[in-house]
């Protein structure tokens, strides 16, 4: 297993080979559950493999279940309880065999024979009645549920929308829109997220509908951004389909060139595929030390219309507490190198008590909702509120009430793209009522709303670093790639600074990220009452920073380019906010709004100065003459006389090369400043530009190297690399070489050693950034990734 750490924190990095003394189980879609579960006589089902693993794991024996290639169709989720746990020294590992591709499917395979012409180009086949299905896949590609307007790949919002989708004229064409039932999907009237409805009946040219609850603001449907689907009369284009429950008829207009007699057609049916659910919120009652590696998960039902929604405290969101992989009362679950392919709802959902999970090196593509959700239970919050009300509360005890929340979860090096296909209040990573998580090196793009979202201030302590988020906020508005709220006890006692950290009681660090945003959004949106954030070393393109009704936030050593600015939206007195050593290239570096109680712009400058602890020593363009406010512009000299930016400088930051490209690395532009830059005079420090987002491992990757070494019997005992305070300590039998490379593969140091040894590796040799330590010996190869700050 690979774990990324910061050397400055003195944490250890271990890469440990799997023990040679382990039990192996083999499973294949063509196997037999009555077989022995060996390589030549594999089992057929994952449930049989799970039960056999329980029989073999005695005596602290690691068990590896090898999944051969092919599709494993589940008629119910595969459930793991405490009895199915492994241990720290002997985990239960479910892994793809070699380079084969095992697929765990929640789908039903439709017949390839028996299709007949229904009308025109529409084909029909009869399958079972009253099935629960709402996605159809043709040869692995999601098709279009019959809809109006027709699917349009060039329309980002809802893949096409029409204001007249529920007009009287259109409703009059529908015979029975409630039979499927029909659905209305749209945006909230203020475009904060989605609003979706089930059609429950029709009378003449009008319908009745039921809101599913997919946001925390009520059921105001947008007048323009709306569409309907799952209505038979709207099946009128290639790729569209409809299933009639009462007769079992499946209608499909196959795309041109499709041969249904040889095609693979699958219908999504299961909401979830894996469930790790312990008996209690404690180590003794949890399910733990189970790993899944190299598996594809697909064909899950759209939870938008199948699961109840709950409001997420006082955030803007509603969520369905469900996921393709669902975890509650669980510890040390590892999901690595897996593909979440076009799942209908959330990819991974950690609900309630969860600790020390690792979600790493996965790909999430075309998910219906969010990719990873970490969400505690409301029972863990001392004064839980909602958007409509806050409770009467007298409890000023810091921190959570119970331990029913996720903590110490690592979400690292995952690719998340084109998610939120159906649900619009989504993010690559969603956090609510959780603590001390690490969100690092994820590449997140093409999504309707945020890339990373904190729904509340409970309970902080997170590390968000080296992520790359772009092409975000494509369908909604008023936020950015990284979004946060803090409407908890900080709001109840907003005039009491000591109450600010009752729930946000640990500082969240957001550093070394590249956040790109559409014009008008925020790169890091610390929205209402989001407090106790330390933000530094972030590259913000177009979207800037927000200073709002919050406290104890630090905005330091960030780079704001492409019209990004700092928006100061009201500010609480005694905010204790620090804004310093930032490079702001916008000719209007600040925008002050929501100071409605202040009579003029000049006095807004005084208010900002008295409410913010420090706003100084920033670099702004030489062209800056004024600061924008809602009450008129303020001259720069007047701004400074109010005590703001007194030691700030004007000038060109002298970026190295904003058009630079690197081989094998997608982000463009080197925004490090050159020697002689005025930014260096204000204390600005350069930070790495070549380490944002997913970083590929050298050669074929950590997991492959370990698997080959173990399978061939070459790797003796275990090899470990310990990285701390500029020293690399190696534990390895025999002779070896230790090579240090940058994230992009450039070798910066090479050592030879024998047995236990230490090597010096300091920042003075290389600079800050991502590095790989590659240990090679006659027994194989071990790779570790670490950060030099």
Q: Are 240 and 364 in a shared domain? A: no
Q: Does residue 67 belong to any structural domain of this protein?
A: yes
Q: Are 462 and 446 in a shared domain? A: yes
Using the structure block, give the residue that is written with the tokens 């994952």: 46
Q: What is the pLDDT of residue 217?
A: 79
Q: What is the pLDDT of residue 82?
A: 98
Q: Does residue 57 belong to any structural domain of this protein?
A: yes
Of 56, 76, 106, the residue that ends a domain is 106
- In angstroms, what CA-CA distances link 368 with 184, 304, 426, 630? 16, 8, 9, 40
Q: Which residues contact 499 (CB under 8 A, 6 or more apart)?
A: 396, 489, 490, 492, 493
Q: What is the pLDDT of residue 713?
A: 29
Q: Are 381 and 437 in a shared domain? A: yes
Q: Does residue 601 belong to any structural domain of this protein?
A: no
- In angstroms, what CA-CA distances link 328 with 36, 369, 431, 599? 32, 19, 15, 53
Q: Are 133 and 231 in a shared domain? A: yes
Residues 326/349, Cβ–Cβ less than 8 Å: yes
Q: Are 459 and 472 in a shared domain? A: yes
Q: Does residue 682 belong to any structural domain of this protein?
A: no
DSSP single-letter state for residue 421: S
Please write down the HEC assignment for all residues of 632-666.
CCEEHHHHHHCCCCCCCEECCCCEEECCCCECCEC
Q: What is the pLDDT of residue 769?
A: 65
- In angstroms, what CA-CA distances link 154 with 159, 239, 240, 255? 7, 16, 17, 18
Q: What is the pLDDT of residue 479?
A: 86
CA–CA distance, 218 with 189 (Å, rounded to integer): 10
Q: What is the pLDDT of residue 377?
A: 97
Phi and psi, residue 451, nearest 5°: -85, -45
Q: Please give the angle made by the CA atoms of 755, 747 and 778, to the nearest 5 degrees.
A: 35
Task: Check the CA dihedral 330-331-333-334 and report its sign.
Answer: positive
Please report how many Cα atoms fall inside a 13 Å half-sphere around the Cα of residue 39, on the Cβ side. 5
Q: Are 460 and 324 in a shared domain? A: yes
Q: Cβ of 208: how many Cβ atoms within 10 Å?
A: 12
Q: Are 137 and 182 in a shared domain? A: yes
Residue 768 belongs to domain with CATH number: 2.60.40.3080
CA–CA distance, 249 with 119 (Å, rounded to integer): 14
Q: What is the pLDDT of residue 768?
A: 62
Q: Are 336 and 191 in a shared domain? A: no
Q: 54-86: per-residue pLDDT in tens?
A: 999 988 889 999 999 999 999 999 999 999 999
Ranges of residues in the chain with a pLDDT under 70 are 1-21, 697-719, 723-726, 743-746, 761-770, 779-780, 787-789
The domain in which residue 148 lies consists of 108-268
Residues 192/217, Cβ–Cβ less than 8 Å: yes
**H or E element that contains 681:** helix 678-681
CA–CA distance, 26 with 734 (Å, rounded to integer): 34
Residues 400/281, Cβ–Cβ less than 8 Å: no
Burial class (CB in 10 A: 0-12, 13-18, 19+), 465: buried
315 torsion bin: left (phi>0), alpha (psi -120 to 50), beta (else)? beta
Q: What is the pLDDT of residue 719?
A: 61
Burial 529-553 (b: 16+ CB within 10 A, else e): bbbbbebbbbbbbbbbbbbbbbbbb
Nearest by Cα to 587 from 555, 551, 622: 622
Q: Does residue 584 belong to any structural domain of this protein?
A: no
CA–CA distance, 429 with 419 (Å, rounded to integer): 11
CA–CA distance, 82 with 85 (Å, rounded to integer): 5
Q: Are 233 and 364 in a shared domain? A: no
CA–CA distance, 768 with 695 (Å, rounded to integer): 15
CA–CA distance, 195 with 217 (Å, rounded to integer): 10
Q: Which residues contact 99 (CB under 8 A, 6 or more apart)?
A: none
Of 502, 531, 560, the residue that ends a domain is 531
Nearest by Cα to 484 from 437, 436, 556, 430: 430
DSSP single-letter state for residue 702: H
Q: Does residue 767 belong to any structural domain of this protein?
A: yes
Of 250, 268, 286, the residue that ends a domain is 268
Q: Does residue 40 belong to any structural domain of this protein?
A: yes
CA–CA distance, 455 with 449 (Å, rounded to integer): 13
Q: Are 239 and 358 in a shared domain? A: no
Beta strand residue intervals within 153-218, DSSP E = 183-188, 194-203, 206-211
Q: Are 315 and 346 in a shared domain? A: yes
Tally of domains in the chain: 4
Q: Are 82 and 123 in a shared domain? A: no
**Largest separation between any pair of C-alpha atoms in the chain:** 85
Q: Does residue 62 belong to any structural domain of this protein?
A: yes
- Start-to-end CA distance of the chain, whole Å, equals 23
Phi and psi, residue 491, nearest 5°: -85, -40
Pairing of strands 438-440, 522-526: unpaired
Q: What is the pLDDT of residue 762?
A: 57
């Amino acid at each position: 297993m690979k774990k990324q750490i910061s050397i400055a924190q003195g944490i250890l990095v271990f890469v440990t080979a799997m023990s040679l003394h382990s039990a192996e189980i083999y499973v294949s879609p063509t196997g037999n559950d009555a077989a022995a579960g060996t390589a030549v006589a594999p089992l057929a089902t994952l449930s049989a493999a799970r039960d056999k693993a329980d029989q073999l794991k005695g005596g602290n024996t690691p068990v590896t279940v090898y999944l051969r290639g092919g599709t494993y169709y589940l008629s119910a989720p595969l459930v793991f309880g405490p009895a199915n746990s492994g241990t720290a020294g002997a985990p239960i590992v479910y892994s793809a065999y070699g380079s084969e591709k095992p697929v765990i499917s929640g789908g039903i395979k439709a017949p390839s024979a028996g299709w007949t012409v229904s009308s025109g180009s529409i084909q029909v086949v009869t399958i079972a009645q009253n099935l629960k299905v709402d996605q159809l896949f043709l040869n692995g590609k999601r098709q279009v549920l019959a809809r109006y307007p027709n699917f349009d790949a060039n329309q980002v919002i809802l893949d096409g929308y029409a204001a007249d989708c529920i007009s009287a004229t259109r409703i009059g064409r529908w015979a029975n829109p409630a039979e499927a039932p029909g659905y209305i999907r749209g945006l909230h009237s203020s475009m904060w997220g989605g609003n979706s409805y089930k059609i429950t009946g029709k009378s003449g040219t009008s319908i009745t509908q039921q809101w599913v609850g997919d946001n925390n603001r009520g059921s105001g449907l947008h007048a323009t951004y709306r569409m309907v689907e799952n209505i038979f009369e709207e099946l009128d284009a290639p790729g569209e389909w409809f299933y009639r429950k009462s007769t079992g008829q499946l209608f499909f207009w196959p795309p041109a060139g499709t041969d249904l007699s040889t095609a693979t057609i699958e219908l999504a049916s299961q909401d979830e595929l894996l469930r790790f659910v312990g008996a209690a919120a404690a180590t003794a009652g949890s399910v733990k030390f189970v790993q899944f590696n190299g598996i594809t998960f697909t064909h899950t039902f759209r939870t938008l219309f199948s699961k109840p929604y709950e409001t997420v405290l006082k955030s803007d969101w509603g969520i369905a507490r469900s996921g393709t992989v669902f975890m509650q009362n669980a510890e040390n679950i590892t999901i690595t190198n897996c593909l979440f392919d076009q799942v209908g709802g959330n990819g991974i959902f950690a609900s309630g008590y969860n600790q020390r999970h690792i979600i790493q090196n996965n790909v999430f593509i075309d998910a219906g909702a969010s990719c990873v959700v970490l969400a505690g239970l409301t029972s863990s919050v001392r004064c839980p509120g909602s958007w409509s009300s806050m409770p009467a509360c007298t409890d000023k005890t810091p921190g959570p009430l119970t331990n029913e929340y996720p903590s110490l979860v690592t979400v690292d090096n995952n690719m998340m793209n084109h998610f939120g296909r159906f649900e619009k209040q989504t993010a690559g990573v969603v956090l609510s009522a959780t603590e001390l998580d690490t969100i690092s090196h994820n590449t997140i793009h093409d999504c309707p709303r945020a890339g990373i979202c904190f729904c509340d201030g409970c309970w902080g302590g997170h590390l968000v670093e080296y992520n790359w988020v772009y092409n975000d906020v494509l369908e909604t508005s008023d936020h950015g790639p990284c979004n946060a709220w803090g409407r908890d006890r900080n709001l109840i006692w907003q005039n009491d600074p000591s109450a600010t950290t009752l729930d946000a009681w640990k500082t969240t660090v957001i550093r070394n990220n590249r956040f790109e945003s559409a014009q008008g959004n925020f790169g890091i949106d610390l929205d209402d009452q989001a407090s106790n954030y330390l933000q530094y070393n972030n590259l913000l393109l177009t979207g800037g920073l927000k200073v709002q009704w919050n406290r104890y936030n630090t905005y330091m050593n960030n780079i704001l380019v492409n019209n990004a600015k700092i928006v100061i939206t009201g500010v609480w007195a005694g905010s204790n906010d620090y804004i310093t050593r930032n490079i702001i290239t916008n000719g209007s570096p600040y925008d002050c709004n929501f100071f409605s109680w202040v009579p003029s712009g000049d006095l807004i400058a005084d208010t900002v100065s008295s409410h913010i602890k420090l706003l100084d020593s920033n670099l702004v363009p030489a062209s800056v003459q004024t600061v924008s406010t809602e009450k008129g512009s303020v001259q720069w000299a007047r701004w400074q006389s109010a005590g703001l930016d007194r030691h700030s400088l004007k000038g060109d930051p002298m970026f190295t090369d904003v058009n630079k490209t690197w081989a094998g690395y997608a982000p463009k532009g080197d925004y490090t400043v050159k020697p002689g830059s005025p930014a260096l005079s204000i204390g600005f420090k350069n930070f790495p530009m070549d380490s944002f987002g997913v970083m590929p491992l050298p050669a074929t990757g950590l997991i492959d190297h370990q698997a080959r070494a173990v399978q061939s019997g070459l790797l003796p005992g275990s090899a470990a690399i310990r990285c701390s305070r500029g020293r690399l300590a190696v534990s390895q039998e025999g002779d070896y070489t230790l090579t240090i490379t940058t994230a992009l593969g450039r070798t910066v140091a090479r050592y030879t050693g024998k047995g236990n040894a230490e090597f010096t590796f300091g920042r003075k040799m290389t600079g800050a950034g991502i590095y790989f330590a590659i240990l090679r010996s006659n027994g194989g190869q071990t790779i570790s990734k670490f950060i030099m700050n």
